[in-house]
């Protein structure tokens, strides 16, 4: 895989992480439970770190990072804002967003001929995405929003 192809792949992931940061903002604003909010803030910070690290890798490959919201990102942010009207719906919206990021990172890792340093970075980011999704699913399974109501 040549540097141009690597930069294209990384820039797609940057846009995905930018979209995730915006979606997390909407979900954080919708949450009323402090534990949920603080975890979602940490996950948002992970996505911000992904953007920084991916951008650095794009530059190392001779490219220019494309740190911008994609068209899909506007839709994701809008969907999250509309659906995230409290703790339960914020978790549901973010589950969908994290399922998307997990699929996208997994697909990127399945590409042949990734340079070693790029593969390592994508594996670290994918590990974060898997952790985010597992935590969100766990919170949904435990129905944590009902504890607040009790």
Q: Tell me what the mean pLDDT of segment 75-96 comes to.
A: 72
pTM of the complete model: 0.89
Residue 39, pLDDT score: 98
- Asked whether the beta carbons of 114 and 122 are under 8 A apart, the reply is yes
Q: Is the pLDDT score of 82 beyond 80?
A: no
For 75, the enclosing helix (H) or strand (E) is helix 71-83
Question: Residue range 33-38: average pLDDT?
Answer: 95
Domain positions in the chain: 3-149
Q: Are 82 and 113 in contact (CB under 8 A)?
A: no
Average of pLDDT values for 85-113? 92
As a CATH number, domain 3-149 is 1.20.1260.10
The mean per-residue pLDDT over the stretch 66-74 comes to 64
Average pLDDT over residues 61-74: 75
CB distance 69 to 15 below 8 Å: yes
């Amino acid at each position: 895989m040549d540097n141009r192809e690597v930069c294209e792949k990384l820039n797609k992931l940057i846009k995905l992480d930018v979209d995730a940061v915006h979606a997390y903002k909407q979900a954080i604003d919708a949450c009323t439970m402090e534990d949920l909010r603080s975890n979602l803030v940490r996950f948002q910070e992970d996505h911000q770190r992904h953007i920084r690290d991916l951008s650095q890798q794009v530059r190392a490959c001779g490219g220019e990072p494309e740190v911008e919201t994609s068209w899909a990102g506007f839709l994701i942010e809008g969907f999250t804002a509309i659906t995230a009207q409290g703790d339960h719906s914020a978790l549901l919206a973010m589950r969908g967003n994290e399922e998307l990021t997990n699929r996208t990172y997994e697909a990127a890792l399945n590409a042949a001929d990734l340079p070693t340093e790029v593969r390592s970075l994508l594996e670290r980011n994918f590990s974060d995405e898997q952790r985010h999704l597992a935590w969100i699913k766990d919170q949904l399974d435990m129905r944590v929003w009902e504890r607040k109501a009790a």
